[in-house]
Amino acid sequence: MDLPLLAPLRQTKPQPVVSDIVGTVRRQWRESSLPRRLKPGTRVAVGGGSRGIANFQTIAKATIDSLKEMGYRPFLVAAMGSHGGATAEGQRELLGEYGITEAAMGVELRSDMTTVQLGTNSWGEPVFWDKNAFEADGAVTISRVKPHTDFRGKFESGILKMCVIGWGKRDGAAQHHRWGLRGLRDMMPETMKVILDKTRFLGGLALLENVEEKTAKVQFVDRDELFDVEPKLLDLARELMGRLPFEQLDLLVIGEIGKNYSGAGIDPNVVGRLLVETAPEFESPKITRICALDLSPESHGNGTGCGIADLATERLLKAIDLKPFLMNNLTACFLRRSQLPFTMPNDRECIEKGIETCWQPRQEKLRMAIIPNTLEVSELWVSAPLVEEAKARQYLQVSGELQDLPFDANGNLEQEKLFPHSVRGRRKAHN
């Protein structure tokens, strides 16, 4: 099959960005409620999770340094539910990949999975919380506030979820996920009320990112303001999040999927496919066929979300490690989106089958796009009909001519040539 020619396209809408990250983080902690809540010399647990956060190492180090300067004794506590295979070693390794290590931070890092039961929530369900955070004199989090990949609610990904699910460890994660959507959307806030009542949780540093995955806002949220402030930050995060610039595609090709790009592997907010049992699907975008070509090495074999794609390559499925894959999905209780897609021997055949089955037999009308992953969507490659549409749109820049896709001798797409600035492109350049 002769594949269509594609051209590079860039989204150019101006984005808010924090220019002085270290200074802003330090100011937020100095002006926070901690000085009136804690005496100097007290031990402060700082929670960090497994989601990819822009400038995470810089923000975490600035947080630790600020707390030390304020007279406290901070230490790090992993807050990532059942991720990392639900093991202390796995969670420590995940944090290490983001540069969050004892050597880099200059403080102790605790990643053991032990919890304490605080009591029961209004549903009559037990509330679990990390033992290290519970025994500290105070506890704070560093959390990215963003739309969740599984549900819509007043609270999605952010401070509240990190406290409930992240510091709930595997016990808390399993407790909420076994209720499905209700356990996340409806029960999480009820559990948080118990945490606020029974622990020394003080507040969290909320981080928002723009469409280019750069830090757009940093704000400390006090425990007493959490229920009022975090929903407003979530609304702002929803406005800032990256999206595909087209409402309808016949075929979307995703270079890599993975947990470092989205908790769901493929972000449903970007591709318009929720695939959660009993939940209605998103209205847009409408994509007939999705191909996924590879699994990121940062996912450590966790192929969660592969079923959001219709077609995948054999190497993607071979990269899946069943232990973390099963642990994550069986704990989350969202099974449909991780059911295995049809597989093809290489990228070219995967794309060809995507074109053959996307319900658009006239190639000159094919609306096709390629993105490196669902986190980095500012740059993409698009077919001729989308090029013409983009030329008439504000904030869309066609940055090159229509051309053939580059494949290697094995029929695999040379993604680094298409997206040299992507995670994959930087990974190859670094190696």
Contacts of 247 (CB under 8 A, 6+ apart): 284, 285, 286
Name the CA dihedral angle for 110, 112, 114, 120, rounded to a multiple of 10 degrees: 70
User: Is position 231 within any domain?
Assistant: yes
Domain identity same for 84 and 146: yes
Helices 187-198/226-240 angle, 10° precision: 130
User: Is position 147 within any domain?
Assistant: yes
Contacts of 321 (CB under 8 A, 6+ apart): 300, 301, 302
Domain identity same for 236 and 247: no
| In the predicted structure, residue 431 carries a pLDDT above the cut 90 | no
| In the predicted structure, residue 51 carries a pLDDT above the cut 70 | no
User: Is position 380 within any domain?
Assistant: yes
**Alpha-carbon gap, residue 62 to 292, rounded angstroms:** 37
Domain identity same for 152 and 300: no
Q: Which of 203, 225, 240 is the last residue of a domain?
A: 240
The helix (H) or strand (E) run that includes residue 347 is: helix 347-356
Tokens for 218, please give them: 């940093």
pLDDT of residue 85: 79
- The total number of structural domains that make up the chain: 2
pLDDT of residue 103: 97
Q: Which of 240, 258, 283 is the last residue of a domain?
A: 240
Domain identity same for 52 and 187: yes
Mean local confidence (pLDDT), 375-385: 96
Mean local confidence (pLDDT), 289-305: 96
Domain identity same for 135 and 182: yes
Domain identity same for 400 and 342: yes
Q: Is 296 helix (H, G, I), strand (E, B) or coil?
A: coil
Q: What is the pLDDT of residues 329-353, one digit of tens each?
A: 888 888 999 999 999 999 999 999 9
- Buried b / exposed e along 218-255 (16+ C-beta atoms within 10 A): bbbbebeebbebbbebbebbeebbbbbbbeebbbbbbb
**Average per-residue pLDDT in the chain?**
95
Mean local confidence (pLDDT), 156-170: 95
Share of the chain above pLDDT 70, in %: 100
**Alpha-carbon gap, residue 117 to 135, rounded angstroms:** 13
Domain coverage including residue 413: 6-13+243-430
Q: What is the pLDDT of residues 260-296, one digit of tens each?
A: 898 899 999 999 999 998 888 988 999 999 999 999 9
Mean local confidence (pLDDT), 374-391: 96
User: Is position 111 within any domain?
Assistant: yes
pLDDT of residue 44: 98
With bands split at pLDDT 50, 70 and 90, how would you rate the model's confidence at 62? very high
The DSSP output letter for 409 is T
pLDDT of residue 122: 97
Q: What is the pLDDT of residues 14-32, one digit of tens each?
A: 999 999 999 999 999 999 9
- Range from 20-29, 135-144, 246-255, 420-429 carrying the lowest mean pLDDT: 420-429
Domain identity same for 275 and 400: yes
User: Is position 27 within any domain?
Assistant: no
Domain identity same for 228 and 257: no
Q: What is the pLDDT of residues 110-121, one digit of tens each?
A: 999 999 999 999
Domain identity same for 332 and 347: yes
User: Is position 280 within any domain?
Assistant: yes
Domain of residue 59, CATH code = 3.40.50.11440
Q: What is the pLDDT of residues 183-209, one digit of tens each?
A: 999 999 999 999 999 999 999 999 999
Tokens for 197, please give them: 């009542």
Mean local confidence (pLDDT), 359-373: 97
pLDDT of residue 50: 66
Nearest to 94 by CA among 301, 369, 358, 402: 301
User: Is position 97 within any domain?
Assistant: yes
Mean local confidence (pLDDT), 35-54: 91
Domain identity same for 143 and 288: no
Domain identity same for 234 and 336: no
| In the predicted structure, residue 427 carries a pLDDT above the cut 70 | yes
Domain identity same for 221 and 145: yes
Q: Which of 240, 260, 283 is the last residue of a domain?
A: 240
User: Is position 411 within any domain?
Assistant: yes
